[in-house]
Amino acid sequence: MREGVVLAKTGIFLRRWNSERRGVHDQAERDGKHVIVDESSGGIVFEAATEEDAESFFYDCQPVDDLLLVLREDVEIEHGVTLRQLRDAIENLEGFATVAEAFLPLYGGQEQQHEKTSGVSAEALVVAREGAIVDGKLIFTPKDSRDMSGRAWDLPLALDESVTISNQETVLFHGTFRFSLLDVLLALFGSRSKDPGLYVLTREGLLTSGGTVENPLDHLLDHCRLGEDFRLGDLFRFVQHNRVLKGLVSRYSLCRDIDAFHAQAAEPSKPTELVSLKIARMCEVHDDGPDGSLAIHCTFEGIGPPYAIGSSQVDDSNVPVPATVGEYAIGCASMGALADLPVLLDEQVTAYESGAQGRTAFRCRSPFSLLEILDAVYREISFYGGPNQIQEMRDMSERVARRIDGRNGTEETIPLEDVLKNWPRTRNVKKGADTRE
């Protein structure tokens, strides 16, 4: 069992791990049954037939009311859920009209397909994909090339999370790669990306060979580059000037205080030692499951002076390695200090095998879509909340630092065993998913 969106016959639900419930209960097996026990009294508070059903006790499951808030969540489809039931569920959610306009061009005009279709095959409609490195670029495509919008609405849906990544005849990776809810909707109702490299986000707006793009929602999934000398403040102004785009990004990336961040970017701030900002990808091959799993997400970080330990690093031959620029988290930074810094894209991807001492699974390039660029920025700057919450965190950190200084550099700590006790058995790591609500 894992966190994420659950597509059920009765609707769409968001499943979240409840650490407080896990902290006072434990999982056990008694008389052949899987039970949940209250740690203080030893009494049984929940019984289940299987271990997975028992584990559900530690998760909260709430109905989804806004489609945009859960698009980037990992998705699970309950057995027997049909395309029609998925359609009915998403159409009743807030944000559906915006999602359909921006991402699902094949959804519109399908009303004639909503009537029950006779002679429907009992086979499931399987959503699957495969990967390939073409001209050095990593590309994922649906395994089924049929027109997904024209099939019967009463076919049950299923996910095939297995994926193979090949470079010509060489298989570089075979394992699992989880689907987000947006991935599933795109496979069913999305169109293919246009020519890569055609769109450039500049200080004047989103440009193409034909001039300025009037509606960026039409191109959120297209490959996008950043113009020369493009700065974070330019990105903020681009989003601020498009009301619909701002609303979509703030909910998709869970950046509720987007206006506050934009306002903060215009305020004077202390100078920073950072020289630029970088959007990149992190790609890992984990060793869970029989074949391993792939996890890919975007990062947004600051580039500045080398770390203090950089000059003392050595390679395998014990030869000093020259210090390089340092990479810094910017989740607690003031936007005023970052607004005038240039933003760079790093399309290079190196997939490292988990537990293999840094061994490389494969290397390639992976172009960014406009949506990925915007999401990487807004998700990172709002990870700890809005500007007020971030300031409270900074104030608290300063108080802790002063307290540690007063204790001669020591601080009370929590045993690792106590931390792991309240930690879920499986975590959602794909695409940098977080648990903000």
CA 190 to chain centre: 19
Determine, yes or no, domain membership for 413: no
Q: For residue range 385-415, list pLDDT tens digits in order.
A: 999 998 888 888 888 878 877 776 677 778 8
Strands of the sheet with 44-48, listed across from one edge: 25-30, 33-38, 44-48
Residues 269 and 351 in one domain: yes
Largest pairwise CA distance in the chain = 78
Q: By CB neighbour count within 10 A (0-12 exposed, 13-18 middle, 19+ buried), where does 381 fall?
A: buried
Residues 169 and 231 in one domain: no
Determine, yes or no, domain membership for 258: yes
Residue among 386, 375, 367, 299 at smallest CA distance from 72: 375
Q: By CB neighbour count within 10 A (0-12 exposed, 13-18 middle, 19+ buried), where does 419 fall?
A: exposed
Instruction: Give the whole-angstrom CA distance, residue 373 versus residue 90.
Output: 26
- 264 residue type, one letter: Q
Q: Assign residue 372 a region (left: φ > 0; alpha: ψ between -120 and 50; beta: otherwise).
A: alpha
Residues 295 and 169 in one domain: no
* SS3 of residue 395 by DSSP: helix
Q: For residue range 94-147, list pLDDT tens digits in order.
A: 999 999 999 988 786 554 444 444 444 457 888 999 999 988 888 888 886 444
Determine, yes or no, domain membership for 409: no
Residues 179 and 304 in one domain: no
Residues 146 and 223 in one domain: no
Q: 67 with 75: CB under 8 angstroms?
A: no
> What does the pLDDT read at residue 356?
53
Residues 375 and 257 in one domain: yes
Residues 129 and 185 in one domain: yes
Residues 186 and 224 in one domain: no
Residues 6+ apart with CB under 8 A from 326: 303, 304, 305, 306, 307, 310
Residues 49 and 68 in one domain: yes
Q: For residue range 33-52, list pLDDT tens digits in order.
A: 888 888 888 888 888 888 88
- 384 residue type, one letter: Y
Q: For residue range 196-215, list pLDDT tens digits in order.
A: 557 999 999 999 877 888 89
Determine, yes or no, domain membership for 343: yes
Residues 232 and 164 in one domain: no
Instruction: Give the whole-angstrom CA distance, residue 50 versus residue 34.
Output: 6
Determine, yes or no, domain membership for 115: no
Instruction: Give the whole-angstrom CA distance, residue 77 versus residue 22.
Output: 25
Q: To which H or E segment does residue 248 belong?
A: helix 243-252
What separation, in Å, do the N-terminal and C-terminal C-alpha atoms of the chain show? 19
- Phi and psi torsions of 298, nearest 5°: -95, 150
Residues 6+ apart with CB under 8 A from 383: 331, 434, 436
Domain total of the chain: 2
Other CB atoms closer than 10 Å to residue 259's CB: what's the count?
13
Determine, yes or no, domain membership for 416: no
Other CB atoms closer than 10 Å to residue 151's CB: what's the count?
17
Among 256-270, 316-330, 361-375, the range scoring the smallest mean pLDDT is 316-330
Residues 188 and 206 in one domain: no
Q: For residue range 298-338, list pLDDT tens digits in order.
A: 999 999 988 655 444 554 555 555 556 688 999 889 999 99
In this prediction, what percent of the chain has a pLDDT beyond 70?
82
Determine, yes or no, domain membership for 415: no
Q: To which H or E segment does residue 6 belong?
A: strand 4-8
Buried b (16+ CB within 10 A) or exposed e, 187-206: bbbbeeeeeeebbbbbeebb
Residues 304 and 185 in one domain: no
The whole domain housing 24 covers: 4-110+124-192+426-432
Stretch 279-296: mean pLDDT, rounded? Answer: 83
* SS3 of residue 280 by DSSP: strand
Determine, yes or no, domain membership for 393: no
Residue among 417, 425, 428, 419 at smallest CA distance from 58: 425
Helices (H) then strands (E): counts for the chain:
12, 23
Say which residue the tokens 């944000």 belong to. Answer: 95
Distances (CA, A) of 123 to 5, 119, 296, 370: 24, 12, 31, 36
